[in-house]
Amino acid sequence: MRNTAIVLAMAAVFAAAPAFAQDNTNGDSGFFVNGSVGHSYFGSGRNSGNDVGYALNGGYRWAVAPNFAIGPEVGYNDLGNVTLSNLVSTNPVVAPGKASLHGWTLGGNAKYSFAQNWYASARVGLYAWRGQGMTNDLSPLNVHRNSDGYYGGVGVGYDFSHSFGVGLGYDYYRAKKNDINLSTGVLGVNAEVRF
């Protein structure tokens, strides 16, 4: 139900986006799609480790100043799987499996052009996640959890044209519920296509 509400809310925002778009002389308004891949860092006790994660996002930006644009975004990510470890050694725990985290994002993004073709970016929003990992109990269990958290990120990049750019960024995904913490940071590269 929660994911359906997120999808419907974003559909309404994107359907209304052209109606709110202002006349733009610098060409920074419009729809975008981006993808990123990078090194994910699970950083909590038995669930600590690293892997490769990816994210896909889409959205719309309005130019609110000659070098600054903001707008909504929606996306999906899979932040990888890491081998579960024991707190006192690097040997695998008795319980089989891996820690994992994936989910949907809904938030806002901003882009600031600070030099010719160079830009800085930021994003923040809600994170509807699902994951698996070890609890922090004295007798740890390998459990599945899902909940809502938040995400945020910053980046820098280079636009090769009005329609295409690449960048480097860091994103943090807060995914914690009761007895399990799967919060993850991702350092990655991204590419964006704008329409």
> For every one of its 195 residues, what pLDDT tens digit does the chain have, with 9 covering 90 and above?
555 555 455 555 555 444 444 444 455 789 999 999 999 988 777 778 888 999 999 999 999 998 999 999 999 999 988 776 554 545 544 445 678 899 999 999 999 999 889 999 999 999 999 988 888 777 777 788 899 999 999 999 999 998 999 999 999 999 998 888 899 999 999 999 999
> Model-level pTM?
0.81
Q: Which CATH architecture has domain 2-194?
A: Beta Barrel (2.40)
Domain ranges of the chain: 2-194
Are the C-beta atoms of residues 143 and 132 closer than 8 Å to each other?
yes
The one-letter amino acid code at 97 reads G
Q: CA 59, 99, 182: angle at the middle one, nearest 5? A: 60
